[in-house]
Structure 1
Amino acid sequence: MKLQRHGTIACLALTAVLGLSACGSDNNDSAGTSASASASADCAKGTLNAQGSSAQKNAMAEWIKAYQQKCAGSTINYEPTGSGAGIQAFIAGTADFAGSDSALKEEEKPQADAKCVGGQALNLPMVIGPVAVVYNVGGVDNLQLTPATLAKIFAGQVTKWDDAAIKADNPDAKLPSTAIQAVHRSDESGTTDNFTKYLSKTAAADWTFGNNKAWKAPGGVGAAKSDGVAGKVKSTEGTISYVEWSYAENSGLKKAKIQNGAGEFTELTAESAGKTIAGAKVEGQGDDLKMSIDYNTKEAGAYPIVLVTYEIVCSKGTPADKLPLVKGLLGHAASAEGQADLVELGYAPLPDSVRTKVEAAVKNLS
Structure 2
Amino acid sequence: MTLPDTMRAIVLVGHGGLDKLEYHTDWPRPEPGPDQVLIKVEACGMNNTDVNTRVGWYSKAVSDATSGDGFEEVGEDDPTWGGAPISFPRIQGADVVGEIVAVGANVDANRIGQRIMTDNWLRDWSDPLNKYSTGYFGSEADGGYAEYTVIDHRNAHVVQSDMTSAELATFSCSYSTAEGMLTRANVGADDVVLITGASGGVGSALIQLAKRRGATVVAMASESKHTQLAELAPDALLPRSVPNLGKALKAAIGRETVTVVADIVGGPAFGSLIDLIARGGYYTCSGAIAGPMVELDLRTFYLNDLTFTGSTVIPPQIFENLVSYIERGEVKPLVAQTVPLADFHAGQAAFIEKSHIGNFVVVP
Q: Same fold (TM over 0.5)?
A: no
TM-score using structure 2 length: 0.27
Q: Which has the higher helix share?
A: 1
TM-score using structure 1 length: 0.27
